[in-house]
Amino acid sequence: IIPVNNFSFHTTTPSRFSIRSNSLNKMAASKDYRLLCLENPLLDIQAFGDEALLEKYGLKANDAILAEEKHHGLFEDLLQNYDAKLIAGGAAQNTARGAQYLLPSNSVVYLGGVGDDKYAAILHDAVKQAGLRVEYRVDPKINTGRCGVVITGHNRSMCTELGAANHYDLEHLKKPEVWSLVENAEVYYVGGYHLTVCPPAIMELAKQAASGNKPFILSLSAPFICQFFKEPLDASAPYWDYVIGNEGEAAAYAESHGLNITDVKEIAKALANLPKENTQRKRVAIITQGTEPTIVAVQGEDEVKEFPVHSIDPAKINDTNGAGDAFAGGFAAGVVEGKSLEESIHMGQWLAKLSIQELGPSYPFPKQAY
C-alpha cells in the first residue's frame, strides 16, 4: 500500500491512473465550495394576508420574530384559509442559493439543522435544483423549522418556529467531513438569525476566517437580533469583515448599543469602525434601504457611499420577501470572485431585482446571465 496525501491504494490498481485521479480530486477540492454558509434551514409557509390576519396573531406588518404560544395555529390558518405556498426559506439558505446562482457549479455549501420529514424533503429538492450543497444536521425526532410569512403590500411579517434548526450544534460542525469543508472554504457567510441557535459554531467560523485572513460576512438579520441577542452579536463583531443589514436593523443596532444616532450613514460608519480582530482587512458595513440607495461605509474612511438600486417597473414586483437575502447572495458571490466592492454591490442589487419578481425568496429558472 502506498499512502498518497492521506489516501491509500493498492499497487494492484493502475498507479498512474490512481495518482492522476487523486491529484485531480485535490485540485477540484481546493476550487470547490469556496463559500460556506451557516444558519437555520426553514420551510416558508407564505401567503398574501390582510390586516385581520396580522391582528389575530398580534403581528406587525413588517417584522421577523420567533413564534410564541399565541402564534400557534398561524401555519394551519395560512395553509387552510389563505392558500399559502410552501417555499424553501431560511434567510442564509436563500443567500447561499443566490450566491450559487451567480457562481460556477459546486461553489457554495450550507450548514444547518433539519428534521427527517416532508418539509426537509422540499428543502432538499429546492437546494438540489439550485445546485447548492447542504450538510444538514438531521434530527429524526424534531420537525423541520417553519416560517409563516404574511405578505401585505410591500411588507412581510415573518413568524418562525425553529424546530430542528434550533438544534444545530458544534458537534456537527466538528465532524471531520464537515470541518474539512470549513477549512477548505475561502469565504464565510453567517446569518445573524443563527445567534439564537449556536453562537459557538459562529465563533468557530469567525476565528477560522480571521486566522486564515479569509473574509467573514455577517448579516444582522432582524431588529430583534440586535436587541435581544446583543451579547453573542457583540462577541462576533470583531470578526466581521463585512456586516450587512437593512435600515430597520441598523436603527435597532444603534438604539440597543446606545449610539445616540439615527442617521443611517452614521450608523454604517459606527459599524465599520468597531474594533477588529483581523487588521489585514478593513471592515465594510452595508445597509440596504428597500428602493432607496444602499449605504456603504469602509473602516477608516470618512466618505460614506451611496449606490442606487437597480430600477424596476413596480408592476413586475411579485413580493419583496427575500430581497435582502438575494442582495447578500449576489454580494457574497462578488466577494468570492474577488470583485471590487462596487461590482459586488452591483451583483447584489442585480440578484435582488431578479428575486423580487419571483414568489418568495426564489430566483428565476432557467437561469438569467449576469
Closest CA relative to residue 35, chosen from 114, 97, 122: 97
Pairing of strands 42-48, 133-138: unpaired
Residues 6+ apart with CB under 8 A from 173: 38, 111, 179, 182, 201, 204, 205
In the structure grid, which three cell numbers stand for residue 364, read together? Answer: 428565476
In the bound complex, what is the minimum distance in angstroms from residue 21's beta carbon to ligand 26A? 39
Q: How far is the C-alpha of 337 from the C-alpha of 190, rounded, in Å?
A: 18
Query: Which contiguous run of DSSP H or E holds residue 100?
Result: helix 91-102
Cβ nearer to ligand 26A, comparing 278 with 349:
349
Q: How far is the C-alpha of 158 from the C-alpha of 321, rounded, in Å?
A: 9
In the bound complex, what is the minimum distance in angstroms from residue 2's beta carbon to ligand 26A? 47
In the bound complex, what is the minimum distance in angstroms from residue 354's beta carbon to ligand 26A? 15
In the bound complex, what is the minimum distance in angstroms from residue 238's beta carbon to ligand 26A? 23
Q: How far apart, in Å, are the Cα atoms of 248 and each of 62, 176, 213, 257, 263?
A: 10, 39, 30, 14, 12
Catalytic residues: 325
Cβ nearer to ligand 26A, comparing 106 with 155:
155
Cβ nearer to ligand 26A, comparing 150 with 298:
150
Contacting residues toward ligand 26A, per CB under 6 A = 39-40, 42, 44, 64, 66, 89-91, 94, 147, 158, 160, 162, 191, 193, 196, 321-322, 324-325, 361
Decide: residue 169, CB within 10 A, 0-12 exposed, 13-18 middle, 19+ buried.
Answer: middle
How many helices (H) and strands (E) would you count in the chain? 14, 16
Q: How far is the C-alpha of 88 from the C-alpha of 105, rounded, in Å?
A: 20
Cβ nearer to ligand 26A, comparing 142 with 298:
142
Hey, how many other C-beta atoms are within 10 angstroms of the C-beta on 256?
18
The count of residues in the chain is 370
Cβ nearer to ligand 26A, comparing 222 with 271:
222
Task: Give the end-to-end CA distance of the chain in Å, rounded to a whole number.
Answer: 48
In the bound complex, what is the minimum distance in angstroms from residue 32's beta carbon to ligand 26A? 25
In the structure grid, which three cell numbers stand for residue 199, read together? Answer: 453562537
In the bound complex, what is the minimum distance in angstroms from residue 214's beta carbon to ligand 26A? 23
Cβ nearer to ligand 26A, comparing 203 with 270:
203
Q: How far is the C-alpha of 183 from the C-alpha of 57, rounded, in Å?
A: 44
Contact 274, 237 (CB under 8 A): yes
